[in-house]
Amino acid sequence: MTRSEEEISRIIEMAWEDRTPFEAIEQQFNLNESQVITLMRSHMKPSSFRMWRQRVSGRTTKHLKLRDPAISRAYCPSQYKPR
């Protein structure tokens, strides 16, 4: 499936967000974690990809089953302010 640049940009943004779990990306874009990793690898510079992988590896907030039940939202309330 071919994705628009806007969709790819949003997937990358969601993947970088600490509180957005891979399950949310899968629900919205039908991409599982390994497919997100493949997309990130193909759309980022190698150094940026390595930095992202290091950042999300083992991060409990990126997986719903591992995250603290107290975290009930995918983003900070101040993250999406009206422009």
**pLDDT (tens digit, 0 to 9) for every residue of the chain, 83 residues total?**
689 999 999 999 999 988 888 999 999 999 999 999 999 999 999 999 999 999 888 777 666 665 556 655 555 555 555 55
What was the pLDDT predicted at 74? Answer: 54
Residue 34 tokens, joined: 């390994």
**Helices 46-56 & 33-43, crossing angle to 10 degrees?**
150
DSSP tag of 44: S
What was the pLDDT predicted at 11? Answer: 96
Spatial separation of the C-alpha atoms in residues 24 and 36, rounded to whole Å: 11
What was the pLDDT predicted at 60? Answer: 73
What was the pLDDT predicted at 68? Answer: 58
Contact between residue 47 and residue 33 where contact means Cβ atoms under 8 Å apart: no
